[in-house]
């Protein structure tokens, strides 16, 4: 699982990208480092594909990867490396610029695109590990890990929009869409949360009819990962931490550049623990609603909504598990 230290290089590279706006040599250094990372991902992918299929490879906690797991991880890492490399090519970046507000020559925007590919690909490559450890006790997120992840994401959001480099604190808060919560934000959040929880229940009911096995698997994995937080206080903690950190990154920093649909898609695919199930549709719809709130109100309203929604979903998982994952 991702920790603060594992996410810290991401923040350091973002700082390098910010300074690369002023010093061209630093931008070139950033692109070289990203190319090296892509080469490493490609190498690891090829190694996974080349591992003997007759030997079980330990994944920890007394379980082992199957050949299919290893090959899936290998293919995913190779595609991630190639996809990230494409966004280092100027013609591809210019093409993306036609559909977004990304600037092809801006190192921060280039890094944001590559980072989106990493977030999807590397997270997806971890799916076999999550599946293996569904039945393993002691593989739950701890409060310290959750807080560490959130701290790194918040730091990434603020460095990503240039705090202390080319934006003051006031300008940074404005760029992230943050404002003191008032009546407008609170009412918008309450209405959006009610709508989202209704959609959650509706889609979950359909999902249960269509594929109860996959729904039960997702529920089991959620309980494995978030077991310590399946309490009223834990539900509030999950809501606040995820609501603040994820909204600052996705709706605050990323959406003004990638746009509503693409940001919502990236947001959905980094929640890969839900696999290719209707849970991903729920997350995508959540991203759309939060994105509309960002555009129509502000990021503060999106944070409040995300917090209330996450808290509500965990409480439902505790007291009404039939309502959804």
| 64-77 pLDDT tens trace | 667 777 888 899 99
- Please report which confidence band the pLDDT of residue 213 belongs to, taking 50, 70 and 90 as the band edges: confident
Query: For residues 309 and 143, which has the higher predicted lDDT (pLDDT)?
Result: 309
Judged on CB neighbours under 10 Å (0-12, 13-18, 19+), 170 is: exposed
Q: CA 247, CA 302: separation in Å to the nearest integer? A: 7
Asked if 185 and 300 count as a contact pair (C-beta separation under 8 A), the reply is: yes
Residue 295 CA neighbour count, 13 Å, CB half: 14
Asked if 287 and 170 count as a contact pair (C-beta separation under 8 A), the reply is: no
Residues 6+ apart with CB under 8 A from 121: 41, 76, 77, 79, 80, 81, 83, 84
Q: CA 67, CA 51: separation in Å to the nearest integer? A: 8
How much is the pTM? 0.88
- Please report which confidence band the pLDDT of residue 1 belongs to, taking 50, 70 and 90 as the band edges: very low
Asked if 258 and 266 count as a contact pair (C-beta separation under 8 A), the reply is: yes
Count of H-run helices and E-run strands, the chain: 15, 2
What does pLDDT average to over the chain? 86
């Amino acid at each position: 699982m991702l920790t603060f230290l594992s996410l810290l290089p991401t923040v350091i590279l973002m700082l390098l990208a910010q300074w690369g706006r002023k010093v061209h040599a630093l931008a070139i250094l950033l692109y070289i480092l990203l190319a090296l990372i892509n080469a490493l991902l490609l190498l690891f992918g090829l190694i996974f594909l080349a591992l003997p299929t007759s030997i079980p490879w330990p994944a920890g906690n007394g379980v082992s990867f199957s050949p299919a797991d290893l090959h899936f991880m290998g293919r995913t890492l190779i595609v991630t490396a190639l996809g990230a490399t494409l966004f280092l090519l100027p013609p591809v970046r210019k093409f993306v610029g036609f559909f977004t507000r990304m600037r092809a020559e801006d190192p921060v925007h280039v890094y944001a695109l590559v980072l989106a590919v990493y977030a999807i690909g590397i997270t997806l490559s971890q799916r076999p590990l999550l599946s293996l450890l569904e039945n393993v006790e002691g593989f739950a997120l701890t409060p310290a890990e959750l807080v560490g992840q959130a701290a790194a994401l918040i730091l990434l959001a603020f460095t990503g929009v240039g705090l202390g480099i080319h934006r003051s604190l006031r300008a940074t808060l404005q760029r992230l869409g943050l404002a003191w919560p008032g009546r407008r934000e609170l009412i918008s959040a309450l209405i959006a949360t009610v709508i989202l929880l209704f959609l959650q229940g509706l889609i979950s009911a359909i999902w249960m009819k269509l594929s109860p096995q996959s729904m039960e698997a997702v529920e089991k994995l959620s309980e494995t990962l978030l077991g310590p937080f399946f309490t009223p206080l834990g539900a509030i903690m999950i809501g606040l931490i995820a609501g603040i950190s994820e909204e600052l990154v996705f709706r605050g920093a990323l959406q003004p550049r990638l746009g509503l649909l693409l940001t919502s898609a990236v947001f959905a695919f980094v929640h890969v623990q839900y696999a290719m199930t209707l849970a991903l549709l729920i997350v995508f719809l959540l991203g759309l609603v939060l994105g509309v709130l960002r555009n129509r109100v502000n990021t503060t309203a999106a944070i409040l909504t995300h917090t209330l929604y996450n808290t509500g979903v965990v409480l439902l998982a505790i007291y009404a598990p039939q309502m959804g994952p």
